[in-house]
Structure formats: C-alpha cells, structure tokens
Amino acid sequence: MTKLWSMFFFCVLLVATMNWYAVVREPEVVPVEDLYEHVNSVVKVRGTLVSWVEDPWGDGSDKTNIVIQDDTGVVRIEWSNTQTLPPVGSIIEARGDYTITTAGKKVVYAVGTGSVTWSAGDISNPEFLGSHFTELSQNPENYTGKMITLSGHISKTLNPDDRYSRFDLRDHPEYSGSNYFLGISGYGSTNKWIEAGSKVNVTGMMVFSERDLKWIMYVQGTAIEVDNSYKSVIGTIDWNNPSSWQYEVNNIVSIYGKMTQDENGEWWIEGPNDGSKICATPSNFHLQNNAESIINITDSWIGRYVWPEDKSYTCLMMGVDAGSVTLVTSKTLTEIVNNPHEWLGSDETVTVEGWLTTTISPTYDEGSIGDGPTWNTRNTELNIHLSGSREKYLEEGLRVRASGKIVWDVESTSMVLEVDTLEPMDFWTVNGTPVYATPLPSELSWFDGPTAWFWDALGGSRVYISGHLNITENGVFIEQAGTDKRLCVNLDPSYDISEIIDEGSNRSIETHTFIGRLYQQNAAEDGAIQMCLDSTSPDLDQDLLSYEDELAYGTNSSNPDSDGDGVTDGQEVSDGTNPLSIISESTISNQVNENQTITNNENNTENTPEKLSSSEPEGIDLANILIWTIIFLIISVILISSISYINLNKKASMSIEEE
C-alpha cells in the first residue's frame, strides 16, 4: 500500500512539473522587427489581421495564409489545420516556427486550431459609410487604417476560383455614369460568381498605395456582400464589333443567333455574317430530348462568356449557372438529406436545384425546395431560409437554383439551407434582359370549399376560379352560378370592370375565370376569418394569365395565343418561353402536354371554365387505380373469410370442451 501511495504522489509531482515547464516554455510575444533573433525557434506574434487566403494553391488542403501587422512591421503566417478567422482588422495572436525560406521569405508556420487565437474584445467592428463616396474622397486620411463598410457597384465579374482579385468600386453600375472609382484589392475566394455592375457592400481597410499613388481598400473575398434585390443589366454581344467582346469575358451576356451542331458534336451560335460564329455549351436542360428544342433555332441566348480550359477559343457557357460545370457543381437534395453529418456545420457553400413547394411572400423568409415540380413527383424536400429583401412573390412550382450553407434549425428540428442566392432557372429574353417564368395559377374549386382553400391562403398562392362578379353594398364577390356560394375579392384597380359588368346592373351575367392571390381576412360583422382574392382581374381569353399579367408581358388579353405558335400565352410564360415570339425562346426544353395545349382560337372558345374545372388532373391513371382497387377488394374478402373461418373453429372447439 505504501508503494502505491508513493507512485501516486510521484505522478502528481510529474504532472505539475510538466505543466510548469509548459508555462515557462510558452513564448512571449515578439515584435515583428525582432523576429530575426528567433530564426528556427517557436515564437508568438500579435498584430492586426490585414488579410487571409484559404487554400492558396487551390488543391483542397486545409491551409490559410495570413498577413498580420504590428507597430514594427508585417509578417506572414502559414496556418495548417485551421478554423474560421474573425473579420479583417481584428487583433490576433499566432504561435509557430519562425523560418526564413531558401527564397528569402520570412514565415511563421502555425499548426492546429489553437495556434492562432483571439479574444472577443479584439474583434473589429467596421464603421458603415453606406454609399457616401464624396465624404470618403474629400477626407480619405480620416479613414486610413480603419475598418469601414462601403456600398457601391463592382467594375468587373468576380470568379469564385480567383484567390486574388483587383477591381473598382463605383457609385454607378455603368462606367460612363460613375463619378467615383475606388480601387479594391481582394484576398481570398468569394465562393460564388459576382456579376459586373452588381451592388455590393465591401468591408475592408483603407490605405494609401505608394506604388500606385492612390487610395485603395483591402478586403476579403468572403466579406463582399451582394445585394440580391438589385439586378445587374445583362450586356449584349455585337456581331458587328467583335473587338469589343474581350471586355465581356467572364460576364453574363446575351447574343442573338442560330444554334447549330457540327459533325463533331460541337455546338455553335451562328451570326448574321458569313463565317461569324462562337462556341456554345448548352446546359443539361437545353439538351433534354436530344436537344430538339434548340437545334437550328434562331433566338437570343444568355450565358457566361468565358475561355474554357479545354478549348483554344471563347465560348458561351449557358444555363443560369452560366459558368462551366466545373465552376458551379449542384448537389442533389438526396445527396444532402442522406448524408446530413457531411454538410451540417461544414461551413461549405452548396448549390441545389429544384422546385419551390410553397409560395413565399415578400414579407416571409421560410419555404422549402423539392426535387419535383408537383407533390406526386417529389421524393425529397429541404427547408430553406431566405436572406435579403424581395419585392415580388416566389411562386409555388418555380424552378430555382439556390446556394447557401446547411445548418440545423432548433425550432423546426430539421436541416435548413440558409440561402445566400436564389435564382429562377427558366426565362426568356427581351432586349438582352431576362424575364423569368411564372408558374400557372392553380384551380380553386367551389366543391372543395374554404376548408381546403386554407392551405392555398397560407402562402398567398395564385389561384383561378370561375363565377359571376357581383358588386354589393357589403363588398365585391365572385359567386357560383345557381348556388349561394361566394368568395370576396379585391379587384385590380388597373382593370375597367365595365367591360364585364352588364349595363344597368352591378353584376356580370356571363361566367368568367378570375385570377388572384388567395389570403385570409377578418369579417367585420362577426370577427370570423374569411378567404378573399387580392389584385383580382378576369382571364378573358382563357390562357390563365390575368389582365395584370397580360399588361406586364405585352400579350393580347383577348387572344390566348398572341404569337400564333400553337402554345397558349400562359403555358409559354410558365415554361419560360417568350409568348410574343413565333419561334419560342429556348432556355428550357418546351414540353407541353397535348391535353392541356389549346392549338387555336376555335378550340380555346370551347374550353369554358366549367370544362376546365371538370377535366381530369394530369398524372392520374384510372386504369391502374381500378386494377389496384379490385386487388384490394379480393385480398380483403380472403382475409375476412379466413378470420371468420378461424372464429367458427374456435367456437366449435369451445362448445365441444363445455360438453
């Protein structure tokens, strides 16, 4: 027993001695100017975080190059096995081996998350200047060495693969309209494409560059915040001025031409002049159905004008990702939900494609994205949280690409994609500007009633319903013919209702289809909740576009097929093709169900609202339903007979035992 106690006290003494040695050996902070005295030694340096670059060689390694500055000089830290750093301008401490390399570089090699540290009081809080370029230009010395946040427009497109970027921050999206230009020196990847002319907030430090003889700002790539409510203008490539194309490299552009494919399978867009063409790389959506929807089509094509690594000439990389597939890699929803631990807390930005499963209003920031356009085609859904302000609704069924980080939401106990950017994927172009698709409104059936309508009202869904319009002292209503059912409406003020109201009365005798956004309101008389349609206008030509939509798209409100191409205006708007172009735009494969397509005006007049509401929903196979019903009945009969037979045998056995 005595020996055990001796061993115990010896171990305690040994541990205490090792801790004392570790404290004594902990290096003191060395000024940068004195580092030359500690070559090949472990040192600790403390200073202001000037810049940092993750994975500087682009090989996927967990390394970060850091530059810090104290009152005596600047030193570079090469950090391995890292963690997330605080904002530029914060005070940090780094511990590691100080070495002068054979190339003469003075570097501190730090390994492990604990080798670079900081306290909460050392984290910088930048001063927000907004877009006050004049104040900054008149007194730049007042902001020297300070962390500031400035709003403006960037002068060129930023590639997510660039580790070091140089661009100007301007007070106007166009060069000719700008009064101020501030040089920006960026460090680290932005992790996403940022388009030229985009409105951004940049956070960094103002310094005077003695070499360039001008003031510049040092910023981190991840500290460039994009204002997604502002849409940058898409430039147009001019076939008659090829020398100007060099200024559009890496930009999203529009070009008008004929899409062709040569004998080697290469895609080209041919211009109006002999021999004028550029290489094209259609997206996967363009290539559906063997690309029948785009080959030999003359149209305006949108894409990113880049120089691919595998080609000796520039190409138009198409699709909303508008880079190359090596630059934007979309993950499937199944990949994410089947491997939650791989994404949760990884701080990695992921990109997914899918369809919105609910309507999201401008005042709401939650929704979900699914891997199919309708409930019966979806296998997987993922909740999303949106950031930033929006002016318009995001409609249910809209096909989108969303990028962000996967986090765990405590309130809903589920994985959530915190969305940084969300872009519709179906669009057509007007003068080089994209017009994004709007899914068709869903039918609101009188048979279902308000109980079923409640779910459409939650997100403010766009719906259509048929009935008579009746203007009363208690409000405006749509009424079902021959019944006492009615739905209150708020009419679109831009529509003249005298077009459908019978002269000398306050109601319409004819049945019309009305389109609006469903919402809930309190009834004044008893405080009950009732359903209403907002911004309502009639669909006079039965193409499922409201009067407001017809004005917005420039289509003919009395003609369901404004361009006469055999596809209704509503279907073209839903598919993302131009309703005013005889040759449909080709951002997606144009697949139209023959049962839903009205091929001419004659057929259109026959499809009354009553017929539309009674038509079979798409995707229901009555034959299969009948077969499975019969099989279910047979199995049920066999099962019931078996149970009855077993019960009879039990009763017979019990009666024999009693006797």
Q: Is the pLDDT of residue 584 over 50?
A: no
Q: Which CATH superfamily is domain 127-226 in?
A: Nucleic acid-binding proteins (2.40.50.140)
How would residue 352 be classed by pLDDT, with cut points 50, 70 and 90?
Answer: confident
User: H or E segment at 305?
Assistant: strand 298-306
Local confidence band at 651 (pLDDT 50, 70, 90 cut-offs): low
Joined tokens for residue 139: 């007194």
Q: Which of 133-147, 172-186, 202-216, 615-629 shows the lowest per-residue confidence on average (mean pLDDT)?
A: 615-629
Strand partners, 187: 164, 220
Cβ-contact 234, 252 below 8 angstroms? yes
Q: What is the mean pLDDT of residues 575-604?
A: 49
Going 620 to 623 to 627 to 630, the CA torsion angle's sign is: positive
pTM: 0.45
Euclidean distance between CA atoms 494 and 537, whole angstroms: 9
The Cα 455–Cα 464 span in angstroms is: 15
pLDDT digit string, tens, across residues 298-333:
877 878 888 776 666 788 887 544 433 323 346 778
Question: Which CATH number fits the domain 235-318, given the four candidates 3.40.1360.10, 2.40.50.140, 2.130.10.10, 3.40.309.10?
Answer: 2.40.50.140
Residue 629 has pLDDT above 70, yes or no: no
Q: Is the pLDDT of residue 431 over 70?
A: no
Token pair for 610: 């009553």
Location of structure tokens 């249910």: 396
Whole-number pLDDT of residue 52: 79
pLDDT of 623 reads 62
- The CATH class for the domain spanning 32-122 reads mainly beta
Q: Which of 4-8, 47-51, 366-370 has the lowest mean pLDDT?
A: 4-8
Place of tokens 């950090």: 79
Which range among 307-311, 421-425, 474-478, 636-640 has the greatest average pLDDT? Answer: 474-478
- Residue 358 — very low, low, confident or very high, per pLDDT cuts 50/70/90? confident
Q: Which contiguous run of DSSP H or E holds residue 354?
A: strand 349-356
Question: Is the CA virtual torsion 276, 280, 285, 288 positive or negative?
Answer: positive
- Residues 6+ away with beta carbon under 8 Å from 640: none
User: What is the enclosing helix (H) or strand (E) of 67?
Assistant: strand 63-69
Report the 10 Å Cβ neighbour count for 542: 21
Alpha helix (H) ranges present in 382-541?
450-458
- Provide the CA 101 distance to its chain's centre, in angstroms: 45
The Cα–Cα gap between 360 and 246 comes to 40
Closest CA to 569 of 590, 594, 544, 604: 544
User: Under a CB-based contact definition with an 8 Å cutoff, are residues 431 and 413 in contact?
Assistant: no
What is the SS3 assignment for 18? Answer: helix
Instruction: Tell me the average pLDDT across 625-637.
Output: 69
pLDDT confidence of residue 369:
92
pLDDT at 575: 85
pLDDT of residue 624: 63
How does 552-571 read in b/e, with b if 16+ C-beta sit within 10 Å?
ebebebebbbbbebebbbbb
Strands 252-261 and 199-209: unpaired
On the question of pLDDT at 562 being above 60, the answer is yes
**pLDDT given for residue 593 in this prediction:** 34
User: Does residue 445 surpass a pLDDT of 80?
Assistant: yes
Stretch (H or E) spanning 80: strand 74-80
Token pair belonging to 215:
């003031």
C-alpha span between 14 and 48 (Å, rounded) = 39
Q: Poorest-confidence range of 125-134, 395-404, 432-441, 641-650?
A: 641-650
The pLDDT of residue 144 is 82
Determine the length of the chain. 659
- Average pLDDT of the chain, as a whole number: 77
Question: How many other C-beta atoms can be found within 10 angstroms of the C-beta atom of residue 69?
Answer: 17
Percentage of the chain beyond pLDDT 70 is: 76
What was the pLDDT predicted at 324? 31
Q: How far is the CA of 45 from the CAs of 105, 106, 409, in angstroms?
A: 16, 13, 38
pLDDT at 323: 38
Mean pLDDT of 221-250: 76
DSSP of 235-290: EE--TT-GGGGGGGTTSEEEEEEEEEE-TTS-EEEE-SSTT-EEEEE--TTTTGGG
CATH code of 330-425, in short, is 2.40.50.140
**Residue 619's pLDDT is what?**
43
pLDDT higher than 60, residue 532? yes
Least confident of 98-112, 219-233, 246-260: 219-233
**Cα–Cα dist 113/83, whole Å:** 6
C-alpha–C-alpha distance, residues 642 and 360, integer Å: 52
Task: Tokens for 257, please give them.
Answer: 């031409």
Per the structure block, which two tokens stand in for 505?
A: 């009365």
pLDDT bucket at 536, cuts 50 / 70 / 90? confident
CA distances, 8 to each of 2, 12, 18 (Å)? 10, 6, 16
C-alpha span between 301 and 278 (Å, rounded): 12
Most confident of 44-58, 105-119, 184-198, 509-523: 105-119
CA dist 1 to 11, 15, 350, Å? 16, 22, 62
Residues 237-259, mean pLDDT to the nearest whole number: 81
Separation between Cα atoms, residue 47 and residue 26, nearest integer Å: 18
Portion of the chain with pLDDT greater than 90, in percent: 3
Pairing of β 91-100 and β 41-54: antiparallel
**Which tokens go with 104?**
């003469």
Contact 123, 71 (CB under 8 A): no
The predicted pLDDT at position 66 comes to 87
Question: Phi-psi bin for 541: left (phi > 0), alpha (psi -120 to 50), beta?
Answer: alpha
* CA-CA-CA-CA torsion sign (85, 89, 91, 95): positive
Q: What are phi and psi of 533, to 5 degrees?
A: -105, 130
Determine which of 202-216, 368-382, 419-433 has the lowest per-residue pLDDT on average: 419-433
pLDDT tens digit sequence for 394-423: 888 888 888 888 888 887 788 898 887 787
* CB neighbourhood size of 318 (10 A): 23
Q: If pLDDT is split at 50, 70 and 90, which confidence band does 384 have?
A: very high
Q: Of the ranges 48-62, 268-282, 446-460, 531-545, which one carries the lowest mean pLDDT score?
A: 446-460
Task: Please give the average per-residue pLDDT across 512-521, as a whole number.
Answer: 84
